[in-house]
Amino acid sequence: MKIYFSHGKKGTPYGNKILKMSELAKSKGFETMSIDYTDTFDPDVRAQRLIAILNKETDEYILVGSSMGGYISLVAEEIVANKPSGIFLLAPALYLESYKKQEFTPHIKMIEVLHGWNDTIVPFRNSLRFCEKNEIPLHLLAADHRFSESLNDVLTLFNDFLLKFE
């Protein structure tokens, strides 16, 4: 099974968080791909890039999205025919005024969301709203938007999520 990582607005495809999560996934036998979106800050252009990649995917896969990458993962999930087996979101950039899509109705149930209590970029209440509406597990951590101080907690929760697909 493949895992597609989508980084945040100012992130990179090989930031520390994605590298550590990718190492963990590879150690469990998953193939990983981190998509480079650094040429544009437009979330819908990024979503179209992910959709184009996923439309060619014939195997099972998981989406992992951080911040804007969470938004584009959910946008893509609603459009692609070959749905992901699961979605793991970190501080997803949902319900932001400048983003085109404002309502999300995922077609799959295997979704988990992590958000930091101390996130000053995307309020944790945005994830709470999404998770409450769709009855999705939400993990609130003592963390900021980047989860820098909580990376071990993120990796533990990601590991638990991946166990569902082994």
Domain map of the chain by residue range? 2-163
Give the tokens for residue 39: 């040429």
Q: How far is CA 148 from CA 14, 15, 92, 141, 166, in A?
A: 15, 11, 16, 11, 28
For 92-107, the three-class secondary structure string (H helix, E strand, C coil) is CCCCCCCCCCCCCCCC
If you average pLDDT over residues 128-142, what whole number do you get?
A: 97
Which amino acid, 21?
M
pLDDT at residue 148, rounded to an integer: 87
DSSP state of 45: H
If you average pLDDT over residues 145-161, what whole number do you get?
A: 96
- The pLDDT tens digits of the residues spanning 68-125 come to 999 999 999 999 999 999 999 999 999 999 999 999 999 999 999 999 999 999 999 9
Q: What is the pTM of this model?
A: 0.97
- Residue 36, pLDDT above cutoff 90: yes
The pLDDT-based confidence of 2 (bands split at 50, 70, 90) is very high
Q: Which residues contact 20 (CB under 8 A, 6 or more apart)?
A: 151, 155
Architecture of the domain made up of 2-163: 3-Layer(aba) Sandwich (3.40)
- Residue 166, pLDDT above cutoff 90: no
pLDDT at residue 71, rounded to an integer: 98
Angle at 59 (CA atoms; ends 55, 63), nearest 5 degrees = 70
- Residue 4, pLDDT above cutoff 90: yes
